[in-house]
Structure 1
Amino acid sequence: MTVGKIATPVAFKTPISVLVLIHTVDLKVLLIERADKPGFWQSVTGSLEVEDAGLVDTAIREVMEETGIDATQHKLADWQTSNTYEIYPHWRYRYAPGVTENIEYQFGLELPEPLAVKLAPDEHVNYEWVDWREAAERVFSWTNVDALRKLGERHGLTL
């Protein structure tokens, strides 16, 4: 008699995500450096997961996981905008076969002042609070630059 192994289903990432631009009233922006790609700075991002009731829940969960900040205690705003981008080939293994694009929804989280951050060390290794224009020069993702541009526009400023 042969006993077979029970296959464990592979949990692929959902190609729907959020980008949460955390900023202060005076437009200081929180940037976090990726653990898996030194020198790659970004805002908080993360994919929709089964336990999330929707995009707002995803944004709240990701902010807490990546920074230790409770987004429910501050001004979290759904900017009602999204970008579709091609998933980098070196990250496609995380998604179901054939998935090459992701839809990313933008959120803003306004804080009264920069806060201390508790990073998830498996995801990020460093953080900095910088002027929004400097942040636009440092982030690696064009969708992050787009969100920073929109932050400026919301305050009557341009890059």
Structure 2
Amino acid sequence: MTRPPKIPESVLVVIHTPALEVLLIERADRPGYWQSVTGSKDALDEPLLSTCIREVAEETGIVVGSPDVPMAALRDWQLANVYEIYPVWRHRYAPGVTHNTEHVFGLTVPAGTPVVLSPREHLRHQWLPWREAADRCFSPSNAEAILHLPRWRRPAAD
């Protein structure tokens, strides 16, 4: 059965602790490529928040909306990146599609939050200080998003 083409609109979710330790996951299809959670919309009308919640659960096992990770922990950073899709992944999209729009979100989780990877998608995970995490990302837009993280830190009273 042939898969439908991917929708060229996606989310990037920077998962981090209050101390700004960032979760990175290593791609199974490209060992050595570290990234935050990413994923395309499943349908044109799928809300971006729904895409975030689904992708975070699928890729990390973290459930947004649970007692440990309430919905308020997921924040739309109101940033969008338009980038050229890497040629190695272009076959997943409709013919002629060369660019993707990526919407950036942050998700604050407690330190020690367990991570359960989808072995089909990712090999390993690691928590790194935010600057080190930015340096480790293969994607320039992912690295740039992580470098914005300190400005999105919630005050301690939240």
Gaps of 5+ in 1: 1-7
* Aligned counterpart for 1:97 among listed residues 72, 95, 98: 95
The residue identity in structure 1 corresponding to 2:57 is: M
The residue identity in structure 2 corresponding to 1:55 is: L
Q: How does 1:45-56 map onto structure 2 within 5 Å?
A: 45-50=38-43, 53-56=46-49
Gaps of 5+ in 2: 154-158
Query: Deviations 1:43-62 (Å, cap 9, x if unpaired)?
Result: 00000012963100000000
* Pairing 1:120–2:118 present: yes
Q: What is the TM-score normalised by the length of structure 1? A: 0.89
* Pairing 1:39–2:39 present: no
> Do 1:78 and 1:107's aligned partners in 2 also have CA atoms closer than 8 Å?
yes
Distance in structure 2 (CA, Å) of the matches to 1:60 and 1:102: 20
SS across alignment from 1:103: strand
The residue identity in structure 1 corresponding to 2:23 is: L
Distance in structure 2 (CA, Å) of the matches to 1:69 and 1:137: 24
- 2:7: which partner in 1? 14
Q: Which runs of 4+ in 1 moved over 6 A?
A: none
Q: How does 1:100-111 map onto structure 2 within 5 Å?
A: 100-111=98-109
SS across alignment from 1:71: coil
Distance in structure 1 (CA, Å) of the matches to 2:107 and 2:50: 13
Distance in structure 2 (CA, Å) of the matches to 1:137 and 1:111: 21
Distance in structure 1 (CA, Å) of the matches to 2:3 and 2:112: 39
Number of matched residues?
A: 149
SS across alignment from 2:31: coil
Distance in structure 1 (CA, Å) of the matches to 2:140 and 2:127: 19
Distance in structure 1 (CA, Å) of the matches to 2:2 and 2:118: 26
CA RMSD of aligned residues (A): 1.7
Distance in structure 2 (CA, Å) of the matches to 1:53 and 1:16: 10
The residue identity in structure 2 corresponding to 1:129 is: W
| Structure 2 CA distance for partners of 1:10 and 1:41, relative to 1, 3 Å | closer
> Do 2:12 and 2:105's aligned partners in 1 also have CA atoms closer than 8 Å?
yes
